[in-house]
Amino acid sequence: MLKIVISAGHGKFVSGAIGIINEVTEARRVVKRVSELLNNNGAKAIEFYEDIAKTQKDNVNNIINFHNRQDRDLDVSVHFNSSAGTTTAPIGVEVLYKSLNPYSFQMAQRLSTSISFYGELKNRGAKPRADLGFLNSCTKNPVLIEVCFVNSTSDVNAYNKNFEQICKGIAEVLLDKEISEREDEDMLNDLIASGYTENEIKSALIDLMNVRRNGGDPNHWTIDGAKYLAGRANLDIPNDYAEYAKQPITRGILGAIIRKMETPPPLENPPNN
């Protein structure tokens, strides 16, 4: 089994970058979600959040020592970046790796590309660093992820919008495989088995796609799995919806379809009160 130690940068008493969002808070969110995805897909994630140190030196040493005490295959640290002032311009994601480590270099390249794609962030790429304690002292091909810049409104908006997909993109690179959505397949099978006709499912799907295309709230559901859903239900979805089917389906859209189908249609001529 693949074993990955993944830690959040900085600590409870040692602040990281603070801008539109707080680095320590968000790094912990990412570590928690990525760990869940790793553990649910055949790997063992060992999380670490540094809550004791009062100095930067002790903080970094505690993180390094925890990593090196574990039986693991890979060391990952999650951070957020910052630069001077607040800007509306996109700055992007980068992943740091230990100089002269070809495996870490390849991992950093793939992580940066994946986060950039799923997060709609500028790709700053893999960057070698020879001056960071985490990269120099951790012994299992360490990489340090800088998810985005906390002082860029463009970056922060993209991060907040695409949080789940960013975490999934990180997990897929670490696992070196696509994460299957088995629960989604089970829900769809249940939906079909419940007796809904293909036309009913297709109608619900297209209605939701229209809401998505017209600016519906993507936090309530996603339409990015339209091709997958259509294929599972043997439906013929119009080609012009293909652009809304770029990422794997999530439980959200299936839940939305089920809720739509369980809601009685409105009366064409409501009775007068």
Q: What is the pLDDT of residues 67-104, one digit of tens each?
A: 999 999 999 999 999 999 999 999 999 999 988 888 89
Report the SS3 class of residue 11: strand
CATH number of 3-175: 3.40.630.40
Numbered ranges of CATH 3.40.630.40 in the chain: 3-175
What is the torsional sign of CA 197, 199, 205, 207?
A: negative
Q: What is the pLDDT of residues 192-208, one digit of tens each?
A: 666 766 667 667 666 66
Backbone angles phi, psi at 147, to 5 degrees: -60, -50
Per the prediction, the chain carries an average pLDDT of 80
pLDDT at residue 270 in the model: 37
Q: How far apart are the first and last CA of the chain?
A: 65
Amino acid at 198: E
Q: Distances from the Cα of 11 to the Cαs of 57, 79, 96, 149, in angstroms?
A: 11, 11, 19, 18
Strands 74-81, 143-149: pairing kind:
parallel
What is the rounded distance in angstroms from the CA atom of residue 134 to the CA atom of residue 80? 15
Place of tokens 């043997």: 234
Specify the range with the lowest mean pLDDT, choosing from 18-27, 80-89, 181-190, 259-268. 259-268
pTM for the full predicted model: 0.69
Residue 252 pLDDT > 90, yes or no? no
HEC string of 84-118 equals CCCECCCCCEEEEEECCCHHHHHHHHHHHHHHHHH
Q: Please answer whether residues 38 and 107 qualify as being in contact, where contact means their C-beta atoms are separated by less than 8 angstroms.
A: no
The torsion defined by the Cα of 39, 255, 162 and 14, in degrees rounded to 10, comes to -50
For the chain, percent of residues with pLDDT exceeding 70: 66
pLDDT at residue 17 in the model: 96
pLDDT at residue 42 in the model: 87
What is the rounded distance in angstroms from the CA atom of residue 46 to the CA atom of residue 43? 10
pLDDT at residue 221 in the model: 39
Specify the range with the lowest mean pLDDT, choosing from 33-37, 102-106, 120-124, 184-188. 184-188
Q: Which positions ≥6 away from 88 have C-beta within 8 Å?
A: 152, 153, 154
